[in-house]
């Protein structure tokens, strides 16, 4: 359970990405002593005192040739939309600048908790420099040195404190799904088509910051939440088309979902970007459904569906388990098949197999194809146990985990898939040495 999301804002070169990297626990490597060094990551996991949270480095979402004010406005807007609290970084060496004052004026209008980090306070002699930042009207300044790792613990404490009043909606009992894909594949159209079906009742739940993208609804007495990465109400802000930002949105939506609909566009075909997006869903271990949209404009004969399916399977080999469905959001074709498919895939991600049954299947598998040997030592599987769901995860207790090679692991996975219906979900197989 993530306790919240925080976002870093501030003018260029104050040390945002240095602090970001400190907070996520990765030393140096990314930041060098050159201004404007490109960032590898802008969205990451942080952990403090057993609490897990997410952090966004808004400075990494850059527009080309954008005047400072627009750049900053974008940072603040993204932080406001995506985060529960904001870390405002200033440079203690520079003192309060006009730009800092401008940012503070924007931040004072938000009602989110703001943590004021005065960076580049590399030694205690500089401590006195932080007090003038009270004039920003943001609250208590915290002395930090991103480079030396000073004050990071204080910032982490404040991050965790800032989530105290974050209300988490009671989504537990609901099936949460998101719709991801590159721009213009039809994500918004698809969400609208789902929500405009007969007997879909859009409900209102008291909520959090991300109401704009979460829509709870009900059909046939089942509760769902659709997380719309495209924005049902498209706002048309320039930055929404920045790839990094759309990736960040997709990642955070995937994280909060049980099932991910990966939308492909039948009109323009499969592109490189589709594979990146689908890769996130797979790596997150969520249920995945491939939705081939705009089926209405595809020229078809009786072979077309087969051909497209083959193409998808060869382009997305890691998603061999994901069902493929052909729809038209525009013409509302086959939209009614989506919720039942989402339910089914969600169930599969939560499937628990009784221990004796799973052991029987693995034993049978070994009789069909005995485990491989390496340098005269044969892999021995003593027993199997399912340790978790979402995705289903199995631990094989073996003589030596190194002996479980890729091909045998895949063979076992296939046997499990033949024995149980895991369609739509990845399954994890872990080998562990028996004590």
Question: Distances in Å between the alpha carbon of 407 and those of 371, 384, 412?
Answer: 10, 18, 9
Give CA–CA dist 116/130, Å, rounded. Answer: 10
Piece of 217-225, 246-254, 323-331, 351-359 that binds ligand GDP (CB under 6 A):
323-331
Q: Is 146 in the site for ligand GDP (CB under 6 A)?
A: yes
Piece of 100-108, 219-227, 328-336, 408-416 that binds ligand GDP (CB under 6 A):
328-336
Of 7 and 431, CB closest to ligand GDP: 7
DSSP 168: P
Q: Minimum distance from CB of 136 to ligand GDP (Å)?
A: 17
The binder of ligand GDP chosen from 189, 246, 425, 426 (CB under 6 A): 189
Q: Which two tokens stand for residue 312?
A: 């998808």
x/- string (CB under 6 A) for ligand GDP, residues 213-252? -----------------x----------------------
Q: Minimum distance from CB of 299 to ligand GDP (Å)?
A: 13
Question: What's phi and psi for 210, nearest 5 deg?
Answer: -100, 30
Q: Minimum distance from CB of 250 to ligand GDP (Å)?
A: 11
DSSP letter string, 2-34:
EEEEEEEE-STTSSHHHHHHHHTT--STT--SS
x/- string (CB under 6 A) for ligand GDP, residues 51-90? --------x-------------------------------
x/- string (CB under 6 A) for ligand GDP, residues 344-383? ----------------------------------------
Of 35 and 354, CB closest to ligand GDP: 35
Q: Which residues in 116-135 contact ligand GDP (CB under 6 A)? A: 119-120, 122
Piece of 181-189, 251-259, 353-361, 412-420 that binds ligand GDP (CB under 6 A):
181-189
Flag whether 202 is marked binding.
no
Piece of 8-16, 71-79, 216-224, 408-416 that binds ligand GDP (CB under 6 A):
8-16
Q: Which two tokens stand for residue 17?
A: 């990405």
Closest by CA position to 75, among listed 94, 100, 56: 56
Q: Is 269 in the site for ligand GDP (CB under 6 A)?
A: no
Q: Is 15 in the site for ligand GDP (CB under 6 A)?
A: yes
Give CA–CA dist 368/361, Å, rounded. Answer: 11
Question: What's phi and psi for 253, nearest 5 deg?
Answer: -65, -45
DSSP letter string, 355-404:
HHHHHHHHHHHHHHSPPPEETTEE--EEEEEEEETTTTEEEEEES-GGG-
Q: Which two tokens stand for residue 221?
A: 């007495």
Q: Minimum distance from CB of 229 to ligand GDP (Å)?
A: 8
Residue 99 contacts residue 130 (beta carbons within 8 Å): no
Q: Minimum distance from CB of 326 to ligand GDP (Å)?
A: 10
Question: What is the number of residues in the chain?
Answer: 435
Of 154 and 347, CB closest to ligand GDP: 154
Flag whether 370 is marked binding.
no
To which H or E segment does residue 75 belong? helix 68-82
Closest by CA position to 184, among listed 112, 241, 133, 238: 241
Q: Minimum distance from CB of 367 to ligand GDP (Å)?
A: 48
Beta strands in 229-323 (DSSP E): 259-265, 287-293
Residue 345 contacts residue 289 (beta carbons within 8 Å): yes
Which residue numbers belong to the known binding site for GTP?
10-17, 57-61, 119-122, 181-188, 228-232, 293-296
Q: List residues near ligand GDP by CB under 6 A.
A: 10, 12-18, 31, 33, 35, 37, 59, 119-120, 122, 145-147, 181, 183-189, 230, 293-294, 296-297, 328-330
């Amino acid at each position: 359970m993530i306790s919240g999301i925080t976002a870093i804002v501030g003018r260029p070169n104050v040390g945002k990405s240095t602090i970001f990297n400190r907070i996520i626990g990765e030393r140096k490597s990314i930041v060098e002593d050159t201004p404007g060094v490109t960032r590898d990551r802008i969205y990451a996991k942080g952990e403090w005192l057993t609490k897990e949270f997410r952090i966004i480095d808004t400075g990494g979402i850059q527009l080309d040739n954008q005047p400072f004010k627009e750049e900053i406005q974008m940072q603040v807007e993204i932080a406001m939309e995506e985060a529960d609290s904001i870390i405002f970084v200033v440079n203690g060496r520079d003192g309060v600048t006009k730009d800092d004052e401008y940012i503070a004026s924007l931040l004072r209008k938000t009602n989110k908790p703001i943590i004021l980090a005065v960076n580049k306070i590399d030694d205690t002699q500089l401590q006195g420099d932080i007090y003038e930042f009270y004039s920003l009207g943001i609250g208590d300044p915290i002395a930090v040195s991103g480079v030396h790792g000073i004050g990071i613990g204080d910032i982490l404490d404040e991050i965790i404190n800032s989530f105290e009043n974050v209300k988490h909606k009671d989504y537990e009992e609901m099936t949460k799904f998101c719709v991801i894909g590159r721009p213009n594949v039809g994500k918004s159209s698809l969400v609208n088509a789902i929500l405009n079906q007969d007997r879909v009742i859009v409900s209102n739940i008291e909520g959090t910051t991300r109401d704009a993208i979460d829509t709870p609804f009900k059909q046939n007495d089942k509760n769902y939440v659709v997380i719309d990465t495209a924005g049902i109400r498209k706002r048309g802000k320039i930055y929404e088309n920045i790839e990094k930002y759309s990736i960040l949105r997709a990642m955070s939506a995937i994280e909060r979902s049980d099932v991910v609909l990966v939308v492909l566009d039948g009109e323009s075909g499969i592109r490189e970007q589709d594979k990146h997006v689908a890769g996130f869903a797979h790596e997150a271990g969520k249920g995945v459904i491939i939705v081939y949209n705009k089926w209405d404009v595809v020229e078809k004969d009786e072979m077309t569906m087969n051909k497209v399916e083959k193409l998808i399977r060869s382009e997305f080999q890691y998603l061999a388990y994901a069902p493929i469905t052909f729809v038209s959001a525009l013409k509302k074709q086959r939209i009614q098949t989506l919720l039942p498919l989402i339910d089914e895939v969600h169930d599969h991600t939560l499937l628990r197999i009784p221990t004796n049954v799973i052991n029987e299947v693995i034993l049978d598998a070994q009789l069909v194809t005995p485990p491989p040997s390496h340098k005269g030592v044969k892999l021995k599987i003593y027993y199997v146990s399912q340790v978790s769901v979402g995705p289903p995860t199995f631990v094989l207790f073996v003589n030596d985990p190194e002996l479980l090679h890729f091909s045998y692991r895949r063979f076992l996975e296939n046997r499990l898939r033949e024995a149980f219906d895991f369609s739509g979900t990845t399954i994890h197989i872990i080998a562990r040495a028996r004590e």
